[in-house]
Chains A and B, each alone.
Chain A
Amino acid sequence: MERNQMQMHRQIATIRKSLFDQGYLDEQFVQLEELQDNSNPNFVEEVVTLFYRDSARFLYNLDQALEKRPLDFSRLDSLMHQFKGSSSSIGAKKVKIECTHFRDYCNARNTEGCKRTFQHVKKEYTTLKKKLEAYFQMSRQAGPIETACRPR
Chain B
Amino acid sequence: MTVEEIRGVVAGNNEINRFPIGMRVLAVDDDPTCLKLLDGLLRKCQYQVTTTNQAITALKMLKENRNRFDLVISDVYMPDMDGFKLLELVGLEMDLPVIMLSGNSDPKLVMKGITHGACDYLVKPVRLEELRNIWQHVIRRKVESKPQSKSNNNHEKSNQGNEGGDQNVKLNRKRKDEDEDVEENGHESDDDPSSQKKPRVVWSIDLHRKFVAAVNQLGDEKAVPRRILDLMNVDGLTRENVASHLQKYRLYIKRISHQANMVAAFGGSKDASSYMRMSPLEGLGDFRILSSSGRLSNAAYAPSGILGRLNSATGVTLHSLMAPPLVQPNHTQNKLQPVNHQNMNLFQEIPSSFDQCSNKPNTQLTDFSSIEESRIFTGNKLVDFNSIDESRMFTGSNPLMDPSVGLGSKSLKLSSTGSESFNLLSSSSNFLDQNGNQPPNFSSNQLPVGGNYGYSATVKGGICSNITTTDTIPLEAHGGGLVDEIVQNVNNQSLSNQKNGQYSKQDYSQYSQNAFSTLASLALASGGGGGLSGPLSHGGLNGGTSALFKTEMPSLEMKMRSSEDGLVVNNGYGSLDGLMTGMMKREQEARMIVDGEFGYDSYAFGPCA
Contact = CB atoms under 8 A, between A and B. Distances in A.
Contacts of A88: 103, 124-125
B133 to A, nearest CB: 16
Contacts of B14: none
A90 B33 CA distance: 8
Contacts of A89: 31, 33-34, 37, 124-125
A32 interface: yes
A46 B104 contact: no
Query: What class of interface size applies to chain A in its complex with B?
Result: 20 to 34
A50 B44 contact: no
B40 A85 contact: no
A13 interface: no
Contact of A34 (B31, B33, B44): B44
Given A85-B103, A88-B103, A88-B125, A35 B33 contact: no
A47 B40 contact: yes
Contact of A47 (B33, B43, B104, B127): B33
A61 interface: no
Contacts of A85: 31, 34, 103, 124-125
A40 interface: yes
Given A40-B40, A40-B43, A88-B103, A31 B128 contact: yes
B489 to A, nearest CB: 33
Contacts of A129: none
The interface residues of chain B, by DSSP majority, are classed as helix
B77 interface: yes
Interface string B41-55: 101100000000000
A54 interface: yes
A46 B36 contact: yes
A50 B36 contact: yes
A55 interface: yes
A86 B31 CA distance: 7
A135 interface: no
Contact of A81 (B34, B44, B104, B127): B104
A88 B33 CA distance: 10
B32 interface: yes
Contacts of B44: 34-35
A31 B33 contact: no
B31 A82 contact: yes
Interface string B98-127: 000001100000000000000000001101
Interface in B6-56: 31-34, 36-37, 40-41, 43-44
Interface in B190-218: none
A124 B34 CA distance: 20
Nearest to A26: B125
A54 B124 contact: no
B434 to A, nearest CB: 58
A32 to B, nearest CB: 7
Contacts of A28: 125
A94 interface: no
- The list of the 7 closest CB pairs from A to B, nearest first, reads A85-B103, A35-B40, A51-B33, A86-B33, A89-B37, A28-B125, A88-B125
20 contacts: A31-B41, A31-B127, A32-B37, A34-B44, A34-B128, A35-B37, A40-B43, A46-B36, A47-B33, A47-B40, A50-B33, A55-B33, A81-B77, A82-B103, A84-B103, A85-B31, A86-B33, A86-B34, A89-B34, A90-B37
Interface of A: 28, 31-32, 34-35, 39-40, 43, 46-47, 50-51, 54-55, 81-82, 84-86, 88-91
Given A88-B125, A89-B124, A90-B37, 13 more contacts: A31-B41, A31-B128, A32-B37, A34-B128, A40-B40, A43-B40, A47-B33, A54-B31, A84-B103, A85-B124, A86-B31, A88-B103, A88-B124
